[in-house]
């Protein structure tokens, strides 16, 4: 895990210094309920990391650029197979909050996956592949209860 993060940081630094980025994710997040709080984006490179909630990359984004419940985020990433999740962290504590019976109180979404229940989907249901010199467009529709 630490090794992957180090490689990701070195890769991003190399690409930045060389003047461009070969692989890009354009993540369109829609159905965002409010401009309050932040969006927490996590990228996972395997099922075990997803189950343990240990992403290989994560970042929080201000919700100031949201227009009509929608925002587009650009992320540089090395080639590989990934799954992406988004938390609408309305209270800014960087974690999902649940009510007394375990229902999520904040919004969430997964790459290319329309969520139907309250449980997390299997990792293989929201993975995507990024190849060298590719821009991948990802759609995430937020779900609220």
Question: Domain limits at 8?
Answer: 2-141
pLDDT of residue 119: 84
Q: Do residues 143 and 30 lie in contact, with contact meaning Cβ atoms separated by under 8 Å?
A: no
Domain tally for the chain?
Answer: 1
Q: Could you tell me whether strands 80-89 and 71-76 are parallel, antiparallel, or unpaired per DSSP bridges?
A: unpaired
Q: What does the pLDDT look like over 81-131, one tens digit per residue? A: 999 999 999 999 999 999 999 999 999 999 999 988 888 999 999 999 999
3-state secondary structure 56-85: CEEEEEECCCCECCEEEEEEECCCEEEEEE
Sheet strands side by side (includes 24-30):
71-76, 24-30, 135-141
Q: Count Cβ atoms below 10 Å from residue 144 Cβ, excluding itself.
A: 15
> Across residues 69-77, what is the average pLDDT?
97
């Amino acid at each position: 895990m630490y090794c992957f993060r180090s490689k990701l940081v070195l890769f991003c630094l190399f690409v930045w210094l060389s003047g461009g980025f070969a692989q890009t994710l354009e993540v369109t997040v829609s159905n965002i309920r409010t401009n309050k709080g932040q969006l927490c984006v996590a990228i996972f490179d395997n099922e075990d990391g997803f189950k343990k909630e240990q992403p290989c990359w994560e970042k929080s984004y201000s919700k100031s650029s949201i227009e009509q419940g929608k925002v587009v985020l650009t992320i540089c990433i090395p080639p590989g197979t990934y799954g992406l999740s988004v938390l609408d962290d309305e209270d800014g504590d960087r974690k999902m909050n649940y009510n007394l019976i375990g229902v999520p109180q904040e919004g969430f979404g997964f790459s290319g996956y329309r969520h139907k229940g309250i449980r997390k989907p299997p990792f293989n249901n929201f993975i995507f592949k990024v190849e060298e010199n590719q821009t991948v467009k990802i759609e995430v529709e937020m779900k609220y209860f």
